[in-house]
């Protein structure tokens, strides 16, 4: 090889090397710019894959709350995707706090009075906590936007109390009871949430709340000795009493007061005013519960089980015929119903769509011998009958839902939920099989073997 050829080869080789180096630099720059899915810590239970979260079919303006909470679909359920920061240091105070929050939420998942926790997922650049979607937002938002009737308020108070009783049975203290920490489903069903300051009885809080954030609902013994006094169930009773007052008057206790003024007021055995409520027996009974929870001496406050029994008696005494879950908007001059009607309509359309797409078998009503029909049960939804199916030469159970505007109390949604669950368990021999759906002009029926 001549000297010239050798120089040319060396030149080409150097150029090739320079090109490779340049390409690697470009690739590295692009990689730095590319978004990566953050790693989910090992201690996290119930990891959800990003591909399992879908955009809802019926998008609404309320699907985005604030700047970060987004509604998605997970296993056909509406869920809230909430950005969350989890430190990579396994035993850092923040990581331990989040770990305990997740453990508590999982433990409380079996009660419908708590916002259901589904798991942790990751999107581009962000970890997200996936919780049950609460259609109406929190209770504070509800009372700011809607007029809540007294019968609904008492039912809400009862459901919250039921949840607290369940929580205390599991040796858990919430430590931050207020209306902003109660989420509301589309059926006005309260769901306790926000366990940032919660902990097990006998343990201490991972994070101590700042007094300015909680003093409006804090018991006097805790205000007096914020650090040294150990928060207990009696403190929780007091906070619940303040929550009941907030729900009744639809505003934060001691609104616009500074911390020192509230502290002086409460430590001197003074409370919020209750004189402006109507002078009727149901109000008097309700505020007797509130005043007992407000007692300066913790030992004079009722236990939650007693409070629950008193609220339950109020419901039975004054609302024997049931409670209507309708709300009136504060910003319209005409009566509007809450999203309960919208959800019922969606459930009805979902069922009809299941029939049309043949996901569930459609059976002609003419295939049944109407003369053989025998009613064996009845409810708000309609009735349950035993009827002869001529095509199969056998008797089947038929759950009939009346297709009318008179249906109340979540009948369509309950019907949809049962159909959905039955369809998923169809292959199990130990569960009654669903055969299909039949439809007539006035009724829709679910057929079971």
pLDDT of 393: 79
**Average confidence (pLDDT) over 231-243:** 97
Least confident of 25-34, 91-100, 140-149, 164-173: 25-34
Q: Do domains 50-132 and 339-448 have the same CATH topology?
A: yes
The architecture (CATH level 2) of 339-448 comes to 2-Layer Sandwich (3.30)
Least confident of 2-16, 232-246, 278-292: 2-16
SS (H, E, C) 278-315: CCCHHHHHHHHHHHHHCCCCHHHCCCHHHHHHHHHHHH
* C-alpha span between 178 and 193 (Å, rounded): 10
Q: Tell me: the pLDDT tens digits for 142-164?
A: 999 998 988 899 999 999 999 99
Reported confidence tier of residue 268, pLDDT bands at 50, 70, 90 = very high
Angle at Cα 93 formed by Cα 89 and Cα 99, nearest 5°? 80
- Give percent of the chain with pLDDT exceeding 90: 42
Position 36 pLDDT exceeds 70 = no
Choice between 310 and 9, residue whose per-residue pLDDT is larger? 310
DSSP string, 390-424: TTTTEEEEEEEEE-STT--TTHHHHHHHHHHHHHH
What sign for the dihedral angle of Cα 69, 72, 74, 78? positive
Tokens of 420: 């959905």
In angstroms, what CA-CA distances link 296 with 76, 89, 230, 270, 392?
48, 43, 16, 9, 70
Tokens of 99: 């770990």
Choice between 99 and 448, residue whose per-residue pLDDT is larger? 99
* Phi, psi of 42, deg, nearest 5: -65, -30
Closest C-alpha among 344, 315, 320 to residue 405 = 344
Angle at Cα 161 formed by Cα 156 and Cα 165, nearest 5°? 150
pLDDT of 371: 85
3-state helix, strand, coil in the chain (%, to 5): 40, 20, 40
Taking the domain 137-329, which CATH number applies?
1.10.510.10
pLDDT of 324: 61
Reported confidence tier of residue 395, pLDDT bands at 50, 70, 90 = confident
Q: Tell me: the pLDDT tens digits for 43-85?
A: 887 899 988 999 888 888 888 888 789 999 998 899 999 999 8
In the chain, where the domains are located: 1-34, 50-132, 137-329, 339-448
137-138 and 77-84 beta bridge pairing: unpaired
Choice between 363 and 421, residue whose per-residue pLDDT is larger? 363
Specify which residues 447 forms β-bridges with: 398, 436
Q: Which residues in 314-324 are b (16+ Cβ under 10 Å) and which e?
A: bbeebbeeebe
Position 410 pLDDT exceeds 80 = no
**Average confidence (pLDDT) over 242-261:** 96
pLDDT of 83: 92
pLDDT of 335: 40
Angle at Cα 86 formed by Cα 84 and Cα 91, nearest 5°? 155
Q: Indicate the average pLDDT of the chain.
A: 82
Position 14 pLDDT exceeds 80 = no
Position 406 pLDDT exceeds 50 = no
pLDDT of 401: 66
| Residue 94 assigned ligand-binding role | no
Whether 188 contacts 324, CB under 8 Å: no
**Roughly what angle, to the nearest 10 degrees, separates helices 304-318 and 281-293?**
180
**Average confidence (pLDDT) over 79-97:** 86
Reported confidence tier of residue 275, pLDDT bands at 50, 70, 90 = confident
Least confident of 23-32, 52-61, 370-379: 23-32
pLDDT of 157: 97
Reported confidence tier of residue 408, pLDDT bands at 50, 70, 90 = very low
Reported confidence tier of residue 343, pLDDT bands at 50, 70, 90 = low
Q: Tell me: the pLDDT tens digits for 289-339?
A: 999 999 999 999 999 999 999 999 998 888 766 666 667 777 654 444 445
Closest C-alpha among 314, 350, 359, 341 to residue 407 = 341
**Average confidence (pLDDT) over 10-25:** 74
Closest C-alpha among 248, 258, 155, 271 to residue 211 = 258
* C-alpha span between 210 and 166 (Å, rounded): 26
pTM for this predicted structure: 0.69
* C-alpha span between 406 and 250 (Å, rounded): 31
Least confident of 21-25, 178-182, 370-374, 412-416: 412-416
Choice between 349 and 374, residue whose per-residue pLDDT is larger? 374
Highest mean pLDDT range out of 286-290, 320-324, 396-400, 425-429? 286-290
Position 129 pLDDT exceeds 70 = yes
- Give percent of the chain with pLDDT exceeding 70: 76
Closest C-alpha among 189, 188, 194, 141 to residue 162 = 189
Residue in this structure with the two tokens 């954030």, named with its chain if needed:
213
Whether 294 contacts 269, CB under 8 Å: no
What sign for the dihedral angle of Cα 24, 27, 33, 34? negative
> How is domain 50-132 classified at the CATH fold level?
Phosphorylase Kinase; domain 1 (3.30.200)
Reported confidence tier of residue 347, pLDDT bands at 50, 70, 90 = low
* C-alpha span between 101 and 290 (Å, rounded): 29
């Amino acid at each position: 090889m001549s000297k010239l050829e050798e120089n040319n080869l060396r030149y080409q080789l150097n150029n090739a090397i320079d090109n490779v180096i340049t390409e690697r630099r470009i690739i590295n720059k692009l990689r730095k710019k590319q978004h990566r899915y953050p790693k989910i810590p090992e201690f996290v239970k119930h990891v959800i894959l990003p591909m399992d979260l879908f955009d809802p079919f019926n998008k609404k303006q309320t699907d985005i709350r604030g700047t970060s909470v987004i509604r998605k679909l997970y296993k056909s359920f509406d869920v809230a995707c909430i950005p969350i920061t989890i430190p990579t240091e396994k035993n850092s105070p923040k990581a331990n706090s989040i770990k305990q929050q997740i453990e508590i939420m999982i433990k409380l998942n079996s009660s419908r009075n708590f916002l259901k926790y589904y798991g942790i997922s990751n999107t581009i650049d962000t970890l997200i906590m996936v919780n049950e979607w609460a259609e109406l937002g929190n209770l504070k938002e509800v009372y700011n936007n809607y007029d809540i009737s007294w019968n609904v308020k008492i039912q809400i108070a009862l459901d919250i109390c039921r949840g607290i009783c369940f929580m205390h049975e599991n040796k858990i203290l919430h430590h931050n009871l207020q209306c902003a920490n109660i989420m509301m489903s589309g059926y006005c069903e309260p769901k306790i949430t926000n366990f940032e300051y919660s902990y097990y009885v006998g343990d201490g809080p991972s994070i101590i709340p700042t007094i300015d954030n909680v003093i409006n609902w804090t018991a006097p013994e805790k205000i007096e000795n914020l650090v040294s006094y150990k928060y207990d169930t009696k403190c929780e009773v007091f906070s619940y009493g303040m929550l009941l007052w907030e729900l009744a008057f639809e505003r934060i206790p001691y609104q616009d007061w500074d911390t020192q003024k509230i502290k002086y007021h409460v430590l001197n055995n003074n409370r919020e005013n209750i004189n402006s409520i109507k002078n009727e027996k149901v109000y008097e009974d309700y505020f007797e519960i509130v005043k007992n929870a407000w007692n300066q001496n913790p030992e004079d406050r009722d236990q939650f089980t007693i409070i629950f029994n008193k609220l339950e008696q109020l419901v039975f005494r004054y609302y024997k015929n049931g409670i209507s879950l309708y709300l009136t908007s504060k910003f319209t001059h005409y009566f509007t119903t809450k999203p309960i009607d919208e959800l019922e309509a969606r459930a009805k359309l979902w069922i009809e769509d299941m029939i049309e797409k043949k996901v569930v078998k459609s059976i002609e009503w003419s295939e049944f011998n109407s003369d053989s029909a025998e009613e064996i049960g009845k409810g708000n939804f309609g009735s349950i009958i035993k009827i002869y199916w001529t095509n199969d030469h056998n008797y089947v159970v038929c759950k009939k839902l009346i297709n009318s505007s008179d249906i109340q109390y979540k009948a369509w949604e309950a019907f949809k939920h049962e159909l959905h669950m039955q369809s998923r368990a169809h292959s199990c021999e130990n569960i009654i099989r669903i055969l299909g759906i039949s439809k007539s002009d006035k009724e829709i029926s679910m057929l079971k073997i």
